[in-house]
Amino acid sequence: MLDIPSSVSVDVEALLAAQNHMGVCDAIEQYAPVGKPDTMTTPHFPKVAGIDSTVPPPAQTVAPASPTPAPPSSPGAPPAPAAPGAPGALIQDRLAGWVSDLTTLHELTERLARTAVMDDALHEVLRAGAALVGARRGLVVLEPADGLGPDTTVGLGLARADLGHIETVPRGATSYGRILDRTDGTGEPEVHADLLSEDGLDPRHRDVAARLGYAASFALPLATEAAGRLGAAVWLYDEPAEPVERQRHLVGLYTRYATEHLARLLELERARTKSRTITEELLPPRLPRVAGVQLAARHRTGPRGGGDWYDALPLPEGALGLTVGSVTGSGASAVAAMGRLRASLRAYAVMEGEDPVAVLSDLELLLRLTEPARSATALFTYCEPALRKIVLAGAGHSPPLVIGERRTEFVETSLSAPLGMLACWEAPSVEFSPEPGETVLLYTDGLLHRTGDPMDRAFARLHAAAAGVPRTIRNDPGAIADHVLHTVLPDGLDAADSDEDVVLLAARFE
């Protein structure tokens, strides 16, 4: 902190007026002394973020009744310390209050900057705003002005049913509704210091306020010139109240920063949603129904989108083609390459599906000619469900897993390089027959990579998960896939952001 020598002459009235008309940093810059400050003994101000429900007011000294002239000092002696009621002490207190405000804002904005998901950021904005304005409850309505969404409502101290009650109030009668309906999307806050005593209050709004037990509200737009209007934040008081000018100033500074942060998260979330949508559209919308076999698939993609695919294709004479694969890389280019390869593989499967080696050989030639910078792993199986006969070929892909009452084992396949790695790819096929009631599980390497374990331990974890499938769900391939997925990737690893896609395709033979 800074200590102001008592010899500095300051117009206190001008200082107080300036505090209300300029930012904290501007005021500190204007009234900071020139030269090296003396040591200051002002007490340390408590930190607020995440502890107190209100911002601690800056320490104030009693206004001086009449200045007492300082005794004359001898030449060369240091200046006498400021009297408790002198203007210098008042300036020190004001500066201490400003420093406390800056510290509070720094802590709150740092906590907000650490959020990487929109929902977490909205909850943090509510908590920080409640601390700044001295409220206990509130809600944020996210409704971007461009109409592209996502639209959502998040509450603090309000259950989902409470938010439902608030949403029954006519939009024009709510603080956030009036803010969101403004043409410019910005403007002054909406303050209702004594909501229930206001004339002309909408009857439904009065009923909801009485039911939920709030008597005052303070609402701010979440909008800046750069980000546009994103939504509105409302904080609710249990008793008639309103934030003082200092609290309004601090929460205004905070919400301007928060709006910019929310705008960045919104852009990122929209990009992820587009990537997921494109990936889902390139994969089969539903699995076919083929006599003698039940199918189920699970797919998890990372935030940038990956190149993993699965497919199930009915073939002539009651046969079925099953395939999983993965293109190297991530992002939009990998997703596009995946879509091209999957579409080509479907064509090759129709023409020569009985020979999986020929199918993958044609796919390898296409990949080498059209996308020489890429490689891919793939597994294609030709199934005859009536005979429970499977012929498969793999190119650098992990072997399928057979799950049954009497056995849980990996299918022995020949070693082969991925597609695009050799001048000419060809490897022998493998034939096997599952028993009635057994499930053949096809998967991509992302299931193993997401574990973070070495490959041998990841394979052991996968085998243990498959062997531990409960008897009660062995007749349901979807339940088997879910069990394996959540056992191999526990604690949300299956849904966590990752560069690795995960695909499981389960086929139970009757």
55 has a pLDDT exceeding 70: no
Strand order, beta sheet including 190-192: 152-156, 137-142, 228-237, 216-224, 190-192
Q: Which residue has the higher pLDDT, 41 or 83?
A: 83
Return all residues near 411 (Cβ < 8 A) that are at least 6 apart.
392, 399, 400, 401, 402, 430, 432, 440
Query: What are the Cα distances from residue 175, in Å, to 79, 152, 166, 189, 451?
Result: 55, 16, 11, 9, 48
**Choice among 30-39, 238-247, 371-380, 404-413 with the minimum mean pLDDT:** 30-39
CA geometry: angle 38, 40, 43, nearest 5 deg: 175
| Phi/psi of residue 290, nearest 5 degrees | -125, 135
At residue 202, the 3 state secondary structure works out as coil
Average pLDDT over residues 319-343: 89
255-293 burial code (b ≥16 CB/10 A, e <16)? bebbbebbbebbeebeebeebbeebeebbeeebeebebb
382 strand-pairing partners: 321, 391
Are 119 and 90 spatial neighbours (Cβ–Cβ below 8 Å)? no
Q: What is the mean pLDDT of the chain?
A: 82
Cross-strand pairs, 505: 297, 442
Query: Pairing relation of β-strands 502-509 and 439-443?
Result: antiparallel
**Number of DSSP helices (H) and strands (E) in the chain, helices first:** 13, 15
Q: What pLDDT, on a 0 to 100 scale, did the predictor assign at position 216?
A: 95
E strands, 46-91, are: none
Identify the pLDDT of residue 86. Answer: 65
How far apart CA 362 and CA 353 sit, in angstroms, is: 11
Domains of the chain are 1-59+83-114 (no CATH), 117-276 (3.30.450.40), 283-509 (3.60.40.10)
**According to the model, what pLDDT value does residue 186 have?**
59
Residue 238 pLDDT greater than 90, yes or no? yes
Q: What is the mean pLDDT of residues 348-355?
A: 92
pLDDT at 279: 81
Using DSSP's 3-state secondary structure scheme, residue 326 falls into strand
Which 3 state secondary structure label does DSSP give 328?
strand
Length of the chain (residues): 510
pTM above 0.75, yes or no: no
How far does Cα 78 stand from its chain's mean position? 58
Q: 136-156, pLDDT tens digit by residue?
A: 999 999 999 998 889 999 999
Average pLDDT over residues 177-185: 79
CA dihedral 166, 167, 173, 174 (to 10 degrees): 60
Q: Taking the alpha carbons of 255, 257, 261, 266 in that order, is the dihedral positive or negative?
A: positive
Q: Which of 9-18, 181-190, 313-322, 478-487 has the lowest mean pLDDT?
A: 9-18
pLDDT tens for 198-215 read 888 999 999 999 999 999
Establish whether the linkage from the previous residue to 150 is cis, with ω within 30° of 0: yes
